[in-house]
DNA sequence: TTGAAAGCGCTAACAG
DNA sequence: CTGTTAGCGCTTTCAA
């Protein structure tokens, strides 16, 4: 497969190179006749425009930079749907996705922007006070945050409304007559990284419990995996309550805790209630299916991409765009 | 943050633009003195070379294209480690990763190659007879396959040695005195997609069972999730055997089947033996920890990237590079 | 409605 | 050891 240039297309179609360009971009009117000849030449040669040349000339790469949390022991559960949705939305507008990992820190953002590797950047997995934000705000390339840091530095934010999620969970447990609540925390390294949504959820849970007049025990940190889950279950078993309701915001922790409770003879949905913060798909697959507040990465990602493409057409004042979660009753709350 | 060009650096350092380029690439000797001045200028301006311009001039993008299986209901379990390892290896050599999803089909490969978006492509999730292979073989950009199709079309392949994995599993069950084996299959859509490794594993399991003189029941297809796992457990329970050994190559299916067996009072590791094909990390986390044949995406990815960078320096005759799995005894085989 | 031509920012001969 | 210069393949004025 030889590789052709727009010059070859032009020659074959008997037009100038600029005409080929204009046919492709639609940026100026072209007679139906020449347009046909050009398009015909394009696919007879299976011509594809050279991305580097195009980027150089047009200052547009048609690439979206995506900074994802790898490496650091992250809650990676919901990550794939984010990536997938973002990639899909990008392709729908003839853009590609360049992947950068979080462990590069701000250097990754500098590189994406400095080298003009992409037209816009999506930043995930924000810490509450993230040093990458200063860089992100400083850079010419528009940056969209998935997550809401303490200070967004004038950047656009999109995220699930974690405070509302907490309110929904607590509200449901209050409405079903629980007299005491417990919150199962995240692993220590996640808490230490001070991820924005973790704190947002905890704070709102506390506030909601207080406003319902319910005592709240916080069991944290709780690492991933079986052992830690057993420990958490033991701690739950030790709580004195007429009717105890448990909230578990760490998706990965939900299933192990359900098992551990069962193993102690505390059947979720009968002896103890559990509400998890996880995707509907994941909630439907737990054993037993856990009543959940939705955490839908696809919705968040889609919204982020909409914002991104709007920003690429015209600048906009930054805003915080929160997506409302919903509660789905399954088998773990009575 | 204004953005500078190598001309600005040259001016500030009092040298020519080409000298700046050579300092960065190391492609010709530079006196210690000018090198210092240039490097100094570079970081005073926080200069970063424009990727498009560099690609255009050098015919090298410093980008690796990665085609990942999204969308199609894929066994997505082990995907993240692949991506992560590949991204890391790329960064270690100053390359970035451009993500393309499988559901674009061969068009994705055409685009990556045709637009010169990357220097090399890694293709995952191959079907045994994949229409993308013809395109991949036709294209100037080197392509590395993770997986081994029936006909590699002269492309480099890297993968786990699934046949050896099957032999290890069957051998272990034979050695521990099992008189009958069962293989739990994949979901129907995965089988229909005719993924290369699925067939390789099945065939080798059959052959190994035969060579040990052990009867083998194949229970397939088995969908993801609880219900299908119960069905599979029922089928296992119905098999007449003195000592039954089960092999489960679908990572996602291992845990649900273990639960389902337990629920029927068939305790894995006591009443029935189970060997899973999954990563060591995942195996250690199942309940109970399942004896496993390793499926280590990191090793495979690392190897693929080594091959890729070698190929970028000099062409090489294609080869099939199989990574040897190992068996780890945990608690589900007696 | 179309063409000619000037760059975009870099690399890599070629020349000294 | 370093500078000059000719492109890389595209987009986009400017002119017609």
Residues B186 and B217 in one domain: yes
Helix (H) or strand (E) holding B158: strand B156-160
Alpha helices in chain A (DSSP H): 6-13, 17-25, 32-44, 51-58, 79-92, 106-114, 131-138, 162-175, 188-192, 196-211, 226-237, 251-263, 280-285, 297-313
> Which pLDDT does position A73 carry in this prediction?
57
pLDDT, tens digit (0-9, with 9 covering 90-100), for B91-113: 999 999 999 999 899 999 999 99
> Which pLDDT does position A75 carry in this prediction?
57
pLDDT, tens digit (0-9, with 9 covering 90-100), for B257-306: 999 999 999 999 999 999 999 999 889 989 899 999 998 899 999 999 99
For A:28-47, CB contacts with B below 8 A are 46-47
- Cα A15 to chain centroid, rounded: 46
Residues of B in contact with A3 (CB under 8 A): 114, 116, 140
**B99 → closest Cβ in A51, A99, A116:** A99
Q: Determine the Cα–Cα distance for residues A222 and A251; give it in Å rounded to an integer.
A: 12
For B:99-138, CB contacts with A below 8 A are 99-101, 104, 110-111, 113-117, 138
Residue B56 lies in a domain: no
Helices A32-44 and A6-13 cross at an angle (nearest 10°) of 130
Give me the CATH number covering residue A108: 3.40.50.2300
- Sorted by sequence, the CB contacts under 8 Å of residue B65 that are 6+ apart come out as B97, B98, B100, B112, B117, B118, B120, B121, B122, B141
> Which pLDDT does position A2 carry in this prediction?
73
For A:211-250, CB contacts with B below 8 A are 225-226
Residues B169 and B233 in one domain: yes
Residues B194 and B245 in one domain: yes
Residues A277 and A239 in one domain: yes
Domain count, chain A: 3
Average confidence score pLDDT of chain B: 94
> Which pLDDT does position A129 carry in this prediction?
82
Residue B15 lies in a domain: yes
> Which pLDDT does position B74 carry in this prediction?
59
Backbone angles phi, psi at B184, to 5 degrees: -95, 120
pLDDT, tens digit (0-9, with 9 covering 90-100), for B139-166: 999 999 999 999 999 999 999 999 999 9
Structural domain containing residue B313: 63-160+297-325
A278-288 burial, b at 16+ Cβ within 10 Å, e below that, comes to bbeebbebbbb
Residues of B in contact with A80 (CB under 8 A): 70, 76, 79-80
> Which pLDDT does position B140 carry in this prediction?
94
Q: List chain C nucleotides near protein: any atom < 7 Å from a Cβ.
A: 1-5, 7-13
Residue B333 lies in a domain: no
> Which pLDDT does position B73 carry in this prediction?
57
Burial of A153 (0-12, 13-18, 19+ CB in 10 A): middle
Residue B42 lies in a domain: no
Of A43-57, A67-81, B115-129, B189-203, the one with minimum mean pLDDT is A67-81
Residues B151 and B260 in one domain: no
Give which of B309, B298, B97, B26 is closest to A104, Cα–Cα: B97
pLDDT (tens digit, 0 to 9) for every residue of chain A, 334 residues total?
678 999 999 999 999 999 999 999 999 999 999 999 999 999 999 999 999 999 999 999 999 999 998 865 555 667 888 999 999 999 999 999 999 998 899 999 999 999 999 999 999 988 888 899 999 999 999 999 999 999 999 999 999 999 999 999 999 999 999 999 999 999 998 888 888 889 999 999 999 999 999 999 999 999 988 889 999 999 999 999 999 999 999 998 999 999 999 999 999 999 999 999 999 988 998 989 999 999 889 999 999 999 999 999 999 999 999 999 999 999 999 9
Average pLDDT over residues B213-240: 94
pLDDT at B64 over 80: yes
> Which pLDDT does position A76 carry in this prediction?
64
The alpha carbon of residue A260 is apart from the nearest alpha carbon of chain B, in Å, by: 11
> Which pLDDT does position B323 carry in this prediction?
96
Residues B17 and B91 in one domain: no
Average pLDDT over residues B72-79: 65
Residues B118 and B266 in one domain: no
Residue A51 lies in a domain: no
Taking 3-state DSSP, the helix, strand and coil percentages for chain B, each rounded to the nearest 5, stand at 45, 15, 35
């Amino acid at each position: 497969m030889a590789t052709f240039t727009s010059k070859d297309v032009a020659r074959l179609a008997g037009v100038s190179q600029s005409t080929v360009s204009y046919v492709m971009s639609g940026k100026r009117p072209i007679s139906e006749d020449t347009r046909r000849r050009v398009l015909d030449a394009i696919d007879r040669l299976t011509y594809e425009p050279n991305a580097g040349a195009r980027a150089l000339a047009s200052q547009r790469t048609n690439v979206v930079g995506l900074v994802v949390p790898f490496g650091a022991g992250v809650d990676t559960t919901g990550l794939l749907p984010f990536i997938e949705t973002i990639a899909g939305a990008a392709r729908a507008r003839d853009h590609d996705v360049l992947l950068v990992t979080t462990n590069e820190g701000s250097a990754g953002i500098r590189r994406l922007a400095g080298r003009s590797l992409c037209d816009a950047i999506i930043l995930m997995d924000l810490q509450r006070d993230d040093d990458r934000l200063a860089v992100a705000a400083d850079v010419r390339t528009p940056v969209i945050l998935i997550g809401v840091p303490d200070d967004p530095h004038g950047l656009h934010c999109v995220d699930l409304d974690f405070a509302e999620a907490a309110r929904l969970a607590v509200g449901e447990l209050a409405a079903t007559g629980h007299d005491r609540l417990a919150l199962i925390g995240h692993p220590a390294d996640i808490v230490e990284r001070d991820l924005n949504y973790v704190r947002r959820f905890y704070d709102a849970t506390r506030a909601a419990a207080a406003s319902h007049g319910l005592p709240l025990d916080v069991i944290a940190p709780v690492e991933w995996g079986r052992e830690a889950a057993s420990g958490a279950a033991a701690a739950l078993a030790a709580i004195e309550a007429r009717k105890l309701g448990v909230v578990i915001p760490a998706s990965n922790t939900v299933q192990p805790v359900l098992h551990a409770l069962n193993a102690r003879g505390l059947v979720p949905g009968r002896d103890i209630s559990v509400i998890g913060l996880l995707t509907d798909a994941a909630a439907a697959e737990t054993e037993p299916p856990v009543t959940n507040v939705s955490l839908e990465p696809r919705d968040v990602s889609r919204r982020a991409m909409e914002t991104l493409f709007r920003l690429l057409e015209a600048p906009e004042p930054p805003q915080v765009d929160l997506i409302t979660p919903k509660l789905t009753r399954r088998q773990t709350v009575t």
